[in-house]
Amino acid sequence: MNIKDIHFSCIPKYIKVNEIAGTELLLWDLCPDTSYSVKSKLKRVFINSFCRNRYTLEKADDSRFFIFYGEWNFRKDHFKYISDFSKSFKNADFIHPIDKKAFEFNPFIVILNWFLIIIWLFQMIGTGYSFGNKLRIIEHLQSARYHLKLCKKFKLADYKFAVVYYDASPDENCIVQFCNNLNVTTMTLQHGIFAKKAVVKSLGDTALELSHSISDYYLAWNQYTKDEAIKVGVNPDKIVVLGVPKFINVDNPANPLKSQDNTFGVILNNFDFDKHNRKLIDMANQISEKLGLKYVVRYHPALKPDIYKDLCGDNFIRNDNHKTIAEYAESVSFTIISSSSVFIDLLMLKHPVFRLCVNEDDTYSTVKFNSFNDVNEFVDVLNEQSEINNDAFSYLCTTYDVFESYNDFFNKILEKR
């Protein structure tokens, strides 16, 4: 039995559970032995039966559309920039969790929730999923029921169109399905750099954020993302290149953002790029020895602090995670990087940034700007580097007029509605 064929109790027929749970289903297809911890999933299902994150709606002066930021991928830094983005538009309401720790308790529906859990488990008999995986799907079903209630509470059907942060996540996917069913135009923002890899070792290698987008429009940062989306079968007409939302309030810097001292920086990737991180630190040691420079390391937020400390050489100074990207860029003379989306952030700041080529499956493998393979190539690129590479900016950053770009597109949609 396929999960597509199951009409889960108390879930509307138009809601496609296989799309809500799309990331898990894709992972299980790639790695059949994948199974979630029964203990951890039971804990989540139990908590969800009693309470959910509380949401609020920030009203605009002239409400025409809404921007939704869900609980599934809540991060303080991302919340700040999506909040700034939404407040830039006088006709956009902003819906988001009040706080990661602010819960809405409702003990009166606990019995119904547990009754539904039992029914859902019976409905999944014959699917072949392990008990832990079934609990993971139940967690998504619980999320769907709650977020469908939010749709009605905030009267989302009355809006002209909807913008979500990430429509491949279960909560926001459900919001998009609700709006699609009512013919409310939907669009999702790009929140990172994604590329389809030839060798798939993790979900991050599949570009699922592109291929699993169910919105009417995918609002891309750059032409690079559009090229990658087309490779995984996304309709080119669906992809609209508008620039990077987090830079909606950033002006074109008059001068490059960098320090004049003898310190450079290393930007590490998340845990899926362990090989990249190790090679970056090894390259930092070689560069620091060859050029007589010190260096700092900036860890990805998902990494444990100092996980690579033992690899750092004598010229390593400190970790720089406590600074904003702009503060970091201002404190070092240049940066080496591999597959991190911060590559684009630094280009926007006109900060000298150089990309280490690790293998043919790098996220930026088709982007040849500012790249090097070894320490000798790096020295050559460093000596030849102009203050800002216009081709790299055009392909990866698109524009400094981010507000005008998005506002023009939103107004065109409003005119059609």
Task: Locate the domains of the chain by residue range.
Answer: 1-54+102-153, 61-94+159-248+402-417, 263-396
What mean pLDDT, rounded, does the chain reach? 89
In this structure, of 23-27, 51-55, 278-282, 344-348, the range with the lowest mean pLDDT score is 23-27
Give residue 34's pLDDT: 67
Q: What does the pLDDT read at residue 266?
A: 97
Q: Mean pLDDT: which of 196-200, 206-210, 261-265 is highest?
A: 261-265
Highest mean pLDDT among 337-346, 356-365, 403-412: 403-412
CATH fit for domain 61-94+159-248+402-417, picks 3.40.50.2000, 3.40.50.620, 3.40.50.300, 3.40.50.12370: 3.40.50.2000
What digits encode the pLDDT tens for the residues 156-192? Answer: 999 999 999 999 888 999 999 999 999 999 999 998 8
pLDDT at residue 4 is higher than 90:
no
CATH architecture of residue range(s) 263-396: 3-Layer(aba) Sandwich (3.40)
Question: For residues 219 and 312, is the Cβ–Cβ distance under 8 A?
Answer: no
Residue 37's pLDDT is 77
The answer to whether domain 61-94+159-248+402-417 and domain 263-396 are alike in fold is yes
What distance in Å separates the CA atoms of residue 240 and residue 234, rounded to the nearest whole number? 12
